[in-house]
Amino acid sequence: MQVSSSSILPPGNVIQAQPLFLNSSALLRRKNGVLYCTMKSTSHSHTQTATEEKQQQKSPQKIKVPPQKQMKEVSKIGADYEAVIGIETHVQLSTLTKAFCSCPYSYGAQPNTCICPVCMGLPGALPVLNSKVIECAVKLALALNCRLSFSSKFDRKQYFYPDLPKGYQISQFDIPIATGGSIDLDLPLEFGGGHRRFGITRIHMEEDAGKLMHSGNGSYSQSNHPSQVDLNRAGVPLLEIVSEPDMRTGIEASEYAAELQRVVRYLGVSNGNMQEGSLRCDVNVSVRPIGQAEFGTKVEIKNLNSFSAINRAIDFEISRQVNLHSQGQQDSIVQETRLWEEGAQKTVTMRKKEGLADYRYFPEPDLPEVVLTKAYMDSVGKSLPELPEAKRRRYEEMGLSMQDVLFLANDIAVADFFDATIQKGADVKLAANWIMGDIAAYLKNEKLSINDIKLVPHELAELIASIKSGTISGKIGKEILFELLAKGGTVKGLIEEKDLVQITDLVDIEKMVDKVIAENPKQLEQYRSGKTKLQGYFAGQVMKASKGKANPGILNKVLVEKLNAKV
Amino acid sequence: MATRGLLLGRSFPLLLIHSSKTVKLTHGYGRRSSYSFLGESCSPCWRQNSAARFSAKALSNEEAPDVRRLAQTARISLTEQEVEDFGPKIQQVIEWFGQLQGVDLKQVEPGIRAATAAGKCFFPLSKVLDEAEEGVNLRDDVPVTFPKADAIIEGLPSYDAPYVRVPKFLHKED
């Protein structure tokens, strides 16, 4: 397969501006399980075994070759290698209390104030599971088409670290709450578009650790040891989602993460904010020559704070590894953790992994089994909203373009607004245009979300209908919209109040045109002598006289007639 | 799985050997003492843990326990004498548990984990269903502020308001 050559761009170039991706979306129709590999994975002990390789589609490459010769060579080399990418995502649940105690958690609270003996790991304190955590886990598992375990358990993952008060993390090791799912997404058009389905290996529940504060400049350098800890976050519930190593490029990986964010926001289980840390992604990248069954050495990348960082970091790492391969130095690729440096736009070694960490997992003796009944699963299933994938397919079927589909389905509040507007009978395409155009612009300017505006869906529907029926002109419609957004009200009310009904009566318009022509003899002269552009001037005058209500189409027709008539 | 069972068997006996004079703790970050040591009642996990969770090889005639490594991972410092003494003792405990290998489990459904004393488990029920069933052992998502947070802060060994001061370290597991 192909390797994106966009990684060779000098630092600072934004990938999005130059889609150099080699895979054409139409050709890379990935079926579920094209490359089927099981990973017996927890977040730290990866043992990869490629169990089956069902098909390998070698798609022809469509390369947009950049001007420099060096890039040409590297992308040529890159074409012989395939990248294998897997992602571990931690989603911080937006429950009111922590996982195992009743401490309220709020991001940004004064350090070390949301604490109690349980989350501080004080002697004798015992964990009690928050029922909401199970509900969130089941919701997410159902949304990702996973198999739910009727019975699962918690385990202790033991290691010593200053942000881990108990000396162990309560997690789920070998019997997680959900396994074997998938996620569907559509790649953005500027990257070639296309549908993808990526596998999900497992989902499990665990608790978060505290936050280490790095003194000094906050960098990860070896000499800059963290020395302070804020334990507010310790004990906050997390869901860990481990993907199958199905992604092949940086953009697929970043879209996977974006879709996960979309899903958790749709479900309301998390605000999925990478900047806040409520959505964290660790990426594993390896390359291998095309046709090779075994995986190459896997490298983990941390410190990814945005979707575009995921994209760029992976592309960089792929090209780093491919370069080493092509120089015969593939043995210098070792299993390690690397950090993505946003400033330098490259990955650097953090530390070399010396074998697998030994976490001495054993079942958490203080917590009972988690038992799910069919009735419970069904009732949670019924409470799920329409998910992004289903929405996208439905919008496509309604005839919307992919661009519209992706925009509208991105935010559930926007999608709901759109759906409500449609339900009142509004034209699909027009509703989409209003929302994506004027309304979106307003939201951006005023920094509001669509739930904050005073405009309600049925008024938008009314507006669209009024314009369609000719009651008001499009231009007037825009003015009304602005008023509705800011102050609310009804379309009918505003039309009446401001007397905005469009003038379509031919006789009325002719009268106005006659008047304007009579009042402007000089311009009439100029028009007759060749300055036909002045038609716009006359139109403007009529509009002014009619307070913008004259129907533009009829107006211009009459104008042309009258201006050219009298000889 | 085999390795894990083995490690499980090995860490615990070390902690169970409660020699008050000689066992010292190092780096004891919030060390839990909710499970008890040998000589008092064992935690239910030990008594009832299904032997099916351990593969056939575990808990028995493998090489002698690596006492030094066990102590290192548990952050317990031992004298040379203790390292020598504890090896055989640990092995004895392992063999004692190893008797479970003799049980014929072909007809027994493997358990996920030991049931707690009252046989309870987490049983999330939808709001629609009647919640009077036994075994509901969950907490509602209702915030309660712990009233003595400042007492916790006061008990910290080293506090750099508003943060907890921690010693220097390099990596996990160092």
| Mean pLDDT across A194-198 | 95
> What mean pLDDT value characterizes chain A?
83
The interaxial angle of helices B80-98 and B67-74, nearest 10 deg, is 100
Structure-block tokens of residue A520: 């402007």
| Mean pLDDT across A421-425 | 92
Q: Residue A160 and residue B27: Cβ atoms within 8 Å? A: yes
pLDDT at position A340, please?
95
What is d(CA B72, CA B14) in angstroms, rounded to the nearest whole number? 11
CA distance B69 to chain A (A): 11
User: Higher model confidence: residue B47 or residue A229?
Assistant: A229
Which pLDDT band holds residue A353 (cuts at 50, 70, 90)? low
Task: Identify all chain A residues contacting B37, using CB atoms and an 8 Å cutoff.
Answer: none
Q: What are the backbone dihedrals phi and psi of residue A256, each rounded to the nearest 5 degrees, phi first?
A: -60, -45
Beta strands A362-363; A155-158: pairing state? antiparallel
User: Higher model confidence: residue B46 or residue A469?
Assistant: A469
Least Cα distance to A312 among A345, A281, A279 occurs for: A345
In this complex, which of B49, B163, B167 lies closest to A112 when CB atoms are compared?
A: B163
B118 touches chain A (CB under 8 A): no
> What mean pLDDT value characterizes chain B?
65
CA distance A180 to chain B (A): 19
CB B75 within 8 A of CB B13: no
pLDDT at position A476, please?
83
Least Cα distance to B173 among A351, A341, A240 occurs for: A351
CB A481 within 8 A of CB A455: yes
| Mean pLDDT across A389-411 | 94
Mutate to test the interface with A, among B47, B112, B127 (most CBs of A within 10 A): B112
Which pLDDT band holds residue A492 (cuts at 50, 70, 90)? confident
The CA R_g of chain A, rounded to the nearest whole Å, is: 30
Q: Residue B143 and residue A116: Cβ atoms within 8 Å? A: no
Per-residue DSSP letters for A313-336?
HHHHHHHHHHHHHHTT-GGG--SE
Assess whether pLDDT exceeds 90 at residue A60. Answer: no
3-class DSSP state for residue A73?
A: helix
**Model pLDDT for residues B46-103, shown as the tens digit of each residue:** 333 333 344 334 444 566 789 998 898 888 999 999 999 999 999 999 999 999 999 9
Task: Identify all chain A residues contacting B4, using CB atoms and an 8 Å cutoff.
Answer: 361
What is d(CA A129, CA A118) in angstroms, rounded to the nearest whole number? 11
CB A499 within 8 A of CB A468: no
Which pLDDT band holds residue B113 (cuts at 50, 70, 90)? confident
Assess whether pLDDT exceeds 80 at residue A101. Answer: yes
Question: What percent of chain A shows pLDDT beyond 70?
Answer: 83
Structure-block tokens of residue A20: 């150099």
Amino acid at A428: V
B139 touches chain A (CB under 8 A): yes
How many Cα atoms sit within 13 Å of A508 on the Cβ side? 11
B124 touches chain A (CB under 8 A): yes
Least Cα distance to A240 among A155, A140, A166, A131 occurs for: A140
pLDDT at position A355, please?
60
Mutate to test the interface with B, among A102, A119, A156 (most CBs of B within 10 A): A102
CA-to-CA dists, residue A497 to A4, A28, A155, A491, B6, angstroms: 59, 57, 67, 10, 82
The interaxial angle of helices A131-143 and A374-382, nearest 10 deg, is 70
Residues 6 or more apart whose CB falls under 8 angstroms from that of A143 comprise A263, A266, A267, A384, A387
CA angle A155, A198, A300 (to 5 degrees): 60
Least Cα distance to A566 among A532, A517, A530, A522 occurs for: A517
What is d(CA A81, CA A75) in angstroms, rounded to the nearest whole number? 10
Own/partner pairs, A486-492, CB within 8 angstroms, 24+ separation: A486/A454, A487/A454, A488/A454, A488/A455, A488/A456, A489/A454, A489/A459, A490/A459, A490/A462, A491/A459, A491/A462, A491/A463, A491/A466, A492/A462
Mutate to test the interface with B, among A95, A215, A336, A362 (most CBs of B within 10 A): A362
- Closest chain B residue to the Cα of A119, Cα to Cα: B30
Beta strands A279-289; A211-214: pairing state? unpaired
| Mean pLDDT across A168-194 | 95
pLDDT at position A130, please?
94
pLDDT at position A555, please?
84
Assess whether pLDDT exceeds 60 at residue A62. Answer: no
CB A551 within 8 A of CB A470: yes
Task: Identify all chain A residues contacting B129, using CB atoms and an 8 Å cutoff.
Answer: 375-376, 379
pTM of the entire structure?
A: 0.75
Which pLDDT band holds residue B6 (cuts at 50, 70, 90)? very low
Residues 6 or more apart whose CB falls under 8 angstroms from that of A289 comprise A80, A81, A82, A325
Which pLDDT band holds residue A320 (cuts at 50, 70, 90)? very high
A:B CB pairs within 8 Å: 191
**Model pLDDT for residues A521-551, shown as the tens digit of each residue:** 888 888 888 888 888 888 888 888 888 788 8
pLDDT at position A65, please?
43
Interface of B with A in 147-166 (CB under 8 A): 149, 152-153, 160, 162-166
CB A157 within 8 A of CB A359: yes
- Closest chain B residue to the Cα of A362, Cα to Cα: B8
Interface of A with B in 376-405 (CB under 8 A): 376, 379-380
| Mean pLDDT across B94-118 | 82
Mutate to test the interface with A, among B10, B26, B164, B168 (most CBs of A within 10 A): B164
pLDDT at position B62, please?
60
CB A557 within 8 A of CB A550: no
A557 touches chain B (CB under 8 A): no
Assess whether pLDDT exceeds 50 at residue B45. Answer: no
What is d(CA A471, CA A549) in angstroms, rounded to the nearest whole number? 10
**Residue A97 DSSP one-character state:** B
Structure-block tokens of residue A120: 């501080």
CA distance A204 to chain B (A): 16
Partner residues linked to A337 by β-bridges: A300, A351
Q: What do you get for the CA distance between the two ends of chain A, in Å? A: 73
Interface of A with B in 426-455 (CB under 8 A): none
- Among the residue ranges A328-342, B23-37, B69-83, B157-171, the one predicted with the least confidence is B23-37
A104 touches chain B (CB under 8 A): yes
Q: Residue B124 and residue A103: Cβ atoms within 8 Å? A: no
Interface of A with B in 121-140 (CB under 8 A): 121-126, 128-132, 134-135, 138
B22 touches chain A (CB under 8 A): no
B4 touches chain A (CB under 8 A): yes
Segment (H or E) for A284: strand A279-289
Q: Residue B45 and residue A365: Cβ atoms within 8 Å? A: yes
CA distance A351 to chain B (A): 9
CA distance A213 to chain B (A): 9
* Residue whose token pair is 């040529």: A76
What is d(CA A459, CA A297) in angstroms, rounded to the nearest whole number? 58
In this complex, which of B27, B49, B142 lies closest to A102 when CB atoms are compared?
A: B142
What is d(CA A308, CA A250) in angstroms, rounded to the nearest whole number? 9
B167 touches chain A (CB under 8 A): yes
pLDDT at position A234, please?
96
Assess whether pLDDT exceeds 70 at residue A499. Answer: yes
| Mean pLDDT across A16-42 | 37
Beta strands A237-243; A279-289: pairing state? unpaired
